[in-house]
Homo-oligomer: A and B are copies of this chain.
Amino acid sequence: MVVVMQEGATEEQIQHVINRLMDMGFDIHRSTGARHTVLGAVGPKIDFDTRDIEVIEGVSEVLRISAPYKLASRTFRPEGSVIQLGEGVAVGAQKVVVMAGPCSVESAEQIGTIAARVAAAGGKVLRGGAFKPRSSPYSFQGMGEKGLELMRRAADQHGLLVVSEVMDQTQIPMMNGYVDVFQVGARNMQNYNLLKELAKVPKPVLLKRGIAATIEELLLSAEYLMSGGNYSIVLCERGIRTFESYTRNTLDISAIPVVHKLSHLPIVVDPSHGTGRRDKVAPMARAAVAAGADGLLIEVHHDPDHAASDGAQSLFPDQFDQLMKELRMIAPAVGRTI
């Protein structure tokens, strides 16, 4: 931490700050300039609230030197992490991994039909919700365990892995029997009790960025998983909330190069939730790959008119086929294949 004292701060004020910093376990380097005294505070502590120093009389500004996370930081693994999701499928390596499927699992027939199309087009992971966090209590809340069972069967039949959302920690043991990857939804990115339990599970976690979460907060949530023992994390950008209301959210494509700089963890993009409209999904999926995304999470439905949820943002299977062709043309520009 670097603490800049105000012009004219008294010696007493400076000593008070030094004492507080030493109480907090820091070593202090003091540098007295013509106008400002600057204090460098160095120590092993990673958790502190810079506001505790900011409110002290005589303090002008405080700057963290180090990121508030360490295991999620790029310096922890400068070469980058490759997260193994299952046999032959890894995120963060040369191949861009496409995960696709319906918003909700609705029936054996539905999930089977879609799984077949996803696999045929080159998708590697089947996505689909069995527990749905819906903003209205009157909306379809998902099929529950039955949905996971149907999804597992469809995925196995077509050589796909399964990713599905877990809504709270009590669901983990049951879900563990069905999924290859636990998805933490945007609304649960800061459900720390859920993260603490997922940290103990020997399976990868797909961690979605909250709609109002900074990239630093996303990495702090990853830190919860890693500090608890689970290093298999795939981050997911899915749109942030801004003043622009034409799109459901604003997909922050720049999060891709930012995460790649700050962290060793791979990042995938969900253009379906990121835009909320079918006709915006393909352009944003192409943009994500062009910007260097490690994978995509895409909603596909063969009959979106009758989808139980989010039909408006689901691609038809033919549109998905076409998109995959376009992505195969773009990937080589960033040294990747699909």
Chain A interfacial positions (CB closer than 8 Å to B): 2, 4, 7, 20, 27, 29, 31, 33-36, 38, 40, 42, 46-47, 49, 51-52, 54-55, 60-61, 63-66, 68-69, 75, 133-139, 167-170, 187-188, 190-194, 210-212, 214-217, 220-221, 223-224, 227-228, 240-248, 250-258, 261-262, 274-280, 283-284, 286-292, 305, 309-313, 326-327, 329-330, 332-334
Contacts and interface: CB of A to CB of B under 8 A. Distances in A.
B286 A333 contact: yes
Contacts of A64: 61
Contact of A254 (B42, B60, B283): B283
Residue of A69, A136, A216, A224 most packed against chain B (CB within 10 A): A136
A243 B241 contact: yes
Contacts of A258: 246-247, 280
A78 to B, nearest CB: 10
B193 A167 contact: yes
Nearest to A34: B42
A36 B65 contact: yes
Residue of A69, A214, A276, A330 most packed against chain B (CB within 10 A): A330
A174 to B, nearest CB: 14
9 contacts: A54-B277, A55-B278, A61-B63, A133-B190, A135-B217, A243-B243, A254-B275, A257-B280, A286-B333
Given A4-B65, A287-B288, A289-B290, 15 more contacts: A2-B2, A4-B63, A29-B38, A31-B40, A36-B40, A36-B65, A38-B40, A47-B139, A133-B192, A168-B169, A187-B190, A191-B191, A246-B258, A286-B290, A330-B333
Could you say how many copies of this chain the assembly holds? 4
A135 to B, nearest CB: 5
B256 A283 contact: yes
B253 A284 contact: yes
Contact of A253 (B241, B245, B253): B253
A68 B243 CA distance: 19
Nearest to A36: B65
Nearest to A276: B51
Nearest to A75: B7
Nearest to A262: B246
